[in-house]
Structure 1
Amino acid sequence: MIRRFLEKPGSVDIAPFERTVAAAGALADRARDLSLEELREMAAANVGSAEFCAAVREVADRTLGERPFDVQLVGTLAMLSGNVVEMATGEGKTLAGALAAAGFALRGKSVHAISVNDYLARRDAEWMAPFYTAMNLTVGWIAEASTAEERRAAYACDITYANVSEIGFDLLRDRLATDPEATVQPVPQVALVDEADSVLVDEARVPLVLAGATDAGAAVPEMAALVRRLSRGYHFELDDEGRNVFLTAKGTDTVESALGISLYDHPGTVTEVNLALHAHALLVRDVDYIVRDGRVQLVNPSRGRVAQLQRWPDGLQAAVEAKEKLAPSDTGEILDSITIQGLLTRYPEICGMTGTAVAVGENLREFYQLKVAVIAPNRPCVREDEPDRIYPSLIDKELALADEIVAQHATGRPILIGTLDVAESESLAKELRSRGLEPVVLNAKNDAEEAAIIARAGELGALTVSTQMAGRGTDIRLGSPEVAELGGLLVIGTGRHPSSRLDDQLRGRSGRQGDPGRSVFFVSGEDDLLKAYLPEETLPKAEKDGRIRDKQAAYLVGHAQRIAEGVNTEIHRNTWRYTRVLEEQRTRLLDHRDRILYGDAGAEALRDARPERYQELVEQSSEEAVAAAARQIVLFHLDRCWTDHLGYFADLREGIHLRALGRLSPIDEFNREALPAYRKLLEEIEKRSTASFDALDLSAPLAEQGMKRPSATWTYLVSENPFGSDWDRVLRRVSSALRGRKKG
């Protein structure tokens, strides 16, 4: 407790790193006179020292044409010390990360440079390749389309750039390998995470899934057609937070009449109706998802991008597809899964970089034991961040927003408008066109044009309307000195995000490297943030011009955002309490599996359990053949039982919150169930393995003896239920009750 009190987020003392970098400056002349070979030797022998900094600075200058600033080297040293560094937009995080990756590699550790998408993984690997080559280090990259051979070669490099999901999918596939030669991923050593707050916090609880035995998805077109006829307020109602929907008595009568059944006598039908109703009433096209190329594609709310390979749990996914009258996508039995947090905590060393780390400093410490090092910009930020412009109603806000854009555009100043979703970006663009403007729109629907749009966003007269796509990982350069004279890039937010970090990321598009700039957010009392998290609060009255200037309004907006962040942190914490149990069990089981896959543990176990049968089979064939069959038998049943184990815990978790009604702790009850379930799992593996061994026919394939593996496997990410689990809703209700109690 004392340590947590004293070590505030962002309190890593960077003074030692700054002294080291200052000392490196005195070595610059010496470094310029050295050959690349001599610089390599100098860096390798002194990783983390002034000599290392001087050497890598000189190599980067010669090979990339970029000479690292002092602040970049400070960031490099902070990462080499195992921290997450906060560096502002335009400060050169990519190069600082590459220098840190080289430092780890020179220490003899393999580095996974983890990115947020395939494009950035390839771009950064190819961009930094000349530097790595000069340092006598190898670099590779992995993308969704990479073959097993390409993946194996990339992982064999000193530094491997890859999307976090691809690293997770490779791990899941390796976990089901039945031949050591089929694995691609070595034991992890160092994870260097770009956009660390997004990967380590925002997406930490997203499960990556390996599925098998594919078949057609659950087709529910008749349910979709049925709920289209239902009316809100008459047939169904939404809860106060708009995250749950339920039939009224009249709605139940209507459904029963249409289906010709007593609804609650058919639990499966109740589930189908509820899923269809959720898809119809709560999931909004061009907000939660888009339809492109005949498929439902989810939109990542924190990035504004299409969430590639991501889908909702199968029943909900099928319901949305039926709602949009699309063919159902494949579904399959989940063979294994891992959360992104579970994936990253496997690495003995983690470090990273982002523009917004301090705000999640407590999360990084709690979940990863990481600290934050704040690196000052190379040039002071002179961007002007205006107070929010707050209005009583949505229409008031939209009119004021459009007026401001028209007025600012008339000056020639480039403007970037950040919207909260695809639908809003298109609606705003339509309104601006009606006023004679020609905005360029960047959202999940035209993400292929992103690079070209961003390249022009800082030019004179540019008007760009974007979702959060432009709010993270983009670097907008001012197009001319005239733009700087006009005040630089103006960033306008159409509303506050549930996370202040997303607002800060959007702001950070302006004012890079000491450039002038300005930012302002427009907010209304009818925005989703306020309706969801402060539903009972009323904003102060507006002044004659329609704007609310009372300080209490600004406080309430910030308070709603803090509540949203707190609720999401608690859900993250709660999710990890449950998934951690399974991760620990899977780790123990994987140790056992590796002994079987890479050794003779399977054969030894069956020989000890059935010595006479083992000898009988050896006499029929050979020791090698029996040992190989034993290995495959035990691996099959271990994997099969783990799949069943996952299913059992999914069902247990779904209803465990009900035990709170009996004044029991759900998490304690979950953990109490976990240990005997794991013992039963081990017993079941042994039981099934010995039964199969007793009946083994060495002349026939194992697949014909009840041990057929899925003919195909596929991977995807499961987006969390957008409405939250029942337990998540309990947490929200509790937080709402506490807010009401404090207010009273």
Structure 2
Amino acid sequence: MTTLLGRFKQRLRRFAQKPGSADLTPYRALLTQVNARAEDIGKLSDEELTEAAAALRGKDEFTKADLVEIVALGREAADRALGLRPFDVQVLGALGLLDKHVVEMATGEGKTLAGAIAAAGFAIQGKRVHVVSVNDYLAQRDAEWMGPLYRLLGVSVGWLSQSSKPEERRSAYQAEITYASVSEIGFDVLRDRLATDEADRIVPEPAVALVDEADSVLVDEARVPLVLAGSTSGPAADPKLAELVKRLRRDLHFEVDDEERNVYLTGAGSELVERELGGIDLYSDEHVSTTLTRVNVALHAQWLLHRDVDYIVRDGKVHLINDTRGRIAKLQRWPDGLQAAVEAKEAVQTTDAGEVLDSITVQALLNRYPEVCGMTGTAVAVAEQLRTFYALEVLVIPSNVDCVREDEPPRLYATLEQKEAAIVTEIAEVHKTGRPILVGTLDVAESERLSRKLAQAGLECVVLNAKNDAEEAAIIADAGSFGRITVSTQMAGRGTDIRLGGHDSTDRERIAELGGLYVIGTGRHASSRLDDQLRGRAGRQGDPGGSVFFSSLQDDLFAQYVPDYDEAIEVAEDGRVTDSGALHTMEHAQRVAEGVHLEIHRNTWRYNKLIEHQRLLLLQHRDQLLTTELAWEELSKRRPERAEELADIDHEVLVKAARLIALHHLDQRWSDHLTFLTDLREGIHLRALARQNPLDEFHREAIPAYQRIVPDSWDEAEQTFAKVVIDADGAHLEDAGVQRPNTTWTYLINDNPFSSGLEETFKGLVKLVRRR
């Protein structure tokens, strides 16, 4: 009877859980076994502990008993090497990761240590592990921080960043565990795909990806293509054009759509521009693909991209801001002339253009790994997407100590000005007590505007945004100090704990009595998970804390996703909206935003699946060219007389020359194919007007185009082989006009195939490009 009752309770619990969540019960049983091993393992010397971990290596099958043993060894190693004894919840997290789940652990519960124990467990099984971080700082910090733990377990570890040199990257990838940001791994994979010598490739075959901030990487950035482009000499943006569009008047010369994502000339605007440019016809064959495009890009740069929101200007250069993390997107830029247009707008030196050589989405990059797991503080909200796109389930780990944070109801105001006035008043009132305050803003401009208003009110604050992100760790570490006011953009993925009393916990008890850290959100994010991550900065590990979010009817979230809201509402004297319907509508706007992003993700992946399939097939052919004598065999068969002329040259030289020729033309055809697909996708949604399915039409044109790549590349390679000079030094390809890019660009763009009316309405802005 007891057994039946237990089974019923378990099924009831599973039924109550959200889709995509796993049952914690089996892991609690394993935890009991891990705890039972603690006393015996504690008696081992350091050398014996290392030997015990080594004894687990080389097994054909890793059993549950082995899993228990490695986690028990990992707990003891963490205690000795780091002075950190993992709590039971961290052990549960490590067990869940080793079972290839996405574990949800509350902010401050020690995900880094749980992930390190799991990474060591995978490595001891003989699996190479990539710990995928959200930025370079966390990759280096965590690799160095967890290093003593790995060394005690006999596991090698490395890390890499944007500034890592090729040999440093090779060394990092040779380690059993490699810490790196998702973009750095992706860009290295792209560079390897264009290698002309097998020895130049540095990324090993993928095995295990352990993803930190898994919801951000696997969902928020999943549809973002990482792009490798070759340098080409392109025309810089015309400063005169930038000055011209500044003089245009909105609604007279140009119009901006309701979501402020697209801008286009009116008839009057076209006439003015044509007159100012010498009486040209913008829509003639001569100018429609050149001058008109540059005018539209200049308009986009002038009216849709805003300084201190989308980018900042520092040291005479335009630096992009990562809009999900509030940091500078280092060494990144926009593509397609947009970067140069923004630079012309800001009167700084402009950069060159480039052509796309290859690309890969973050989702496709991570799907290369046979095994994927991850950890984050907010996974249940995206459990459906994790299951749909990655076949992953979420394992929710309870907090080590119950959260006692007090989350106040959201406050809504009629106007932006009234909201910010109320925020300043709230900060002033709380600050009188000495309670530390963390204010989370949505962008740089807002953080600086708020800091000025606080200064006018006689309140001193510390600002953390993309302009001073180098001081990030120190600012965040002391955000819990007595009397401290910290204003920060985007707290997601900061990776540094906020301790009550600051980094040395001075006045901790005093601050706890005041209620702990007080978090104020100045607006609702497009994702409720980002709100939760900001809230989670307070009330860590059972500390007291509080949070409240302010919003206004003029916030971008409300304006974009509930643009037609015009109901009569009750407004207090200070502008606060007390109408429950309006409060509900703000929540609705956030859900709409989340739904739109999910729909874009789904439709983007439908297009990218075909492209990724084509890419994998092409890579198989490219690998044959790179690792065998296929190129020489094919070209000498096509041009036997040319092969006869070269008979006196060393065979290895001829093989290499033929390989370089074939690879060049194959890569060029693939680059052209990607350009064709980009152009095709940009207008494919219009096929719906003719009652055609855009996705079907995309496939109908993309498949025949792909099938011509290899034959066309062989034809071109044959022509080059016939005319290029080949001697003992190899093929003189540059003399024959066959030249690979001598510099490359790497960048990211927000990808959206515009395959439905919904997506067309919320058309994404091309973003984030990086030059290497």
Q: TM-score, length-normalised on structure 2? A: 0.91
How far, CA to CA, are the matches of 1:5 and 1:215 in structure 2? 60
> How much does 1:37 deviate?
4.0
Secondary structure of the 2:357 match is strand
How far, CA to CA, are the matches of 2:20 and 2:534 in structure 1? 21
Which residue does the alignment assign to 1:263? 282
Which residue does the alignment assign to 2:308? 286
> How much does 1:262 deviate?
2.6
Asked if 1:641 corresponds to 2:669, the answer is yes
Asked if 1:190 corresponds to 2:190, the answer is no
Deviates more, 1:671-680 or 1:210-219: 210-219
Which residue does the alignment assign to 1:589? 618
Secondary structure of the 1:620 match is coil
Secondary structure of the 2:337 match is helix
Which residue does the alignment assign to 1:56? 74
Distance 1:94-1:542 versus aligned 2 partners, 3 A rule: same
- Give runs of aligned pairs for residues 123-522 of structure 1, distance below 5 A: 123-215=141-233, 218-259=236-277, 260-265=279-284, 266-267=287-288, 268-469=290-491, 472-479=494-501, 480-522=508-550
> How much does 1:626 deviate?
2.5
Cα deviation code 1:73-111 (max 9, x no counterpart): 111111111111111111111111111111110110101
Secondary structure of the 2:467 match is helix
> How much does 1:176 deviate?
1.2
Which residue does the alignment assign to 1:20? 30
Give, as a single letter, the amino acid of the residue that structure 2 aligns with 1:604.
E
Which residue does the alignment assign to 1:742? none
Deviates more, 1:546-555 or 1:495-504: 546-555
Which residue does the alignment assign to 1:690? 718
Distance 1:732-1:634 versus aligned 2 partners, 3 A rule: closer
Cα deviation code 1:590-620 (max 9, x no counterpart): 1111122122222333344445543x14633
Distance 1:391-1:471 versus aligned 2 partners, 3 A rule: farther
Give, as a single letter, the amino acid of the residue that structure 2 aligns with 1:568.
H
Distance 1:597-1:732 versus aligned 2 partners, 3 A rule: closer
Q: Percent of aligned positions with the same letter in both sequences?
A: 58
Q: Is the 8 A contact 2:211 2:372 kept in 1?
A: yes
> How much does 1:179 deviate?
1.1
> How much does 1:711 deviate?
4.7
Cα deviation code 1:216-266 (max 9, x no counterpart): 553221111001111223222221222222222322222222112232222
How far, CA to CA, are the matches of 2:264 and 2:652 in structure 1? 61
Cα deviation code 1:608-642 (max 9, x no counterpart): 4445543x146332433332222222112111211
Give, as a single letter, the amino acid of the residue that structure 2 aligns with 1:13.
D
How far, CA to CA, are the matches of 2:604 and 2:336 in structure 1? 20
> How much does 1:7 deviate?
7.8
Give, as a single letter, the amino acid of the residue that structure 2 aligns with 1:12.
A
Secondary structure of the 1:314 match is coil
| Runs of at least 5 residues in structure 1 that lack an aligned partner in the other structure | 736-744
How far, CA to CA, are the matches of 2:332 and 2:757 in structure 1? 23
Which residue does the alignment assign to 1:674? 702
> How much does 1:411 deviate?
0.7
How far, CA to CA, are the matches of 2:369 and 2:249 in structure 1? 51
How far, CA to CA, are the matches of 1:640 and 1:232 in structure 2? 42
Give, as a single letter, the amino acid of the residue that structure 2 aligns with 1:29.
E
Distance 1:707-1:170 versus aligned 2 partners, 3 A rule: farther
| Runs of at least 5 residues in structure 2 that lack an aligned partner in the other structure | 1-13, 57-61, 502-507, 764-772
Give, as a single letter, the amino acid of the residue that structure 1 aligns with 2:626.
L
How far, CA to CA, are the matches of 2:713 and 2:749 in structure 1? 31
How far, CA to CA, are the matches of 1:702 and 1:368 in structure 2? 46
What is the aligned residue count? Answer: 729
How far, CA to CA, are the matches of 2:418 and 2:681 in structure 1? 45
How far, CA to CA, are the matches of 2:324 and 2:34 in structure 1? 39
Give, as a single letter, the amino acid of the residue that structure 2 aligns with 1:708.
V
How far, CA to CA, are the matches of 1:470 and 1:500 in structure 2? 12
> How much does 1:729 deviate?
6.8
Give, as a single letter, the amino acid of the residue that structure 1 aligns with 2:523.
G
How far, CA to CA, are the matches of 1:471 and 1:342 in structure 2? 22
Secondary structure of the 1:310 match is coil
Give, as a single letter, the amino acid of the residue that structure 2 aligns with 1:261.
I
Which residue does the alignment assign to 1:34? 44
How far, CA to CA, are the matches of 1:59 and 1:546 in structure 2? 57
Which residue does the alignment assign to 1:653? 681
How far, CA to CA, are the matches of 1:253 and 1:491 in structure 2? 52
Q: TM-score, length-normalised on structure 1? A: 0.94
How far, CA to CA, are the matches of 1:170 and 1:390 in structure 2? 46
Give, as a single letter, the amino acid of the residue that structure 2 aligns with 1:462.
R
How far, CA to CA, are the matches of 1:213 and 1:400 in structure 2? 50
**CA RMSD between the two structures:** 2.1
How far, CA to CA, are the matches of 2:668 and 2:267 in structure 1? 43
Deviates more, 1:712-721 or 1:171-180: 712-721
Asked if 1:702 corresponds to 2:732, the answer is yes
How far, CA to CA, are the matches of 2:663 and 2:710 in structure 1? 12
Distance 1:544-1:148 versus aligned 2 partners, 3 A rule: closer
Distance 1:589-1:225 versus aligned 2 partners, 3 A rule: same
Q: Is the 8 A contact 2:378 2:532 kept in 1?
A: yes
> How much does 1:308 deviate?
1.9
Give, as a single letter, the amino acid of the residue that structure 1 aligns with 2:617.
R
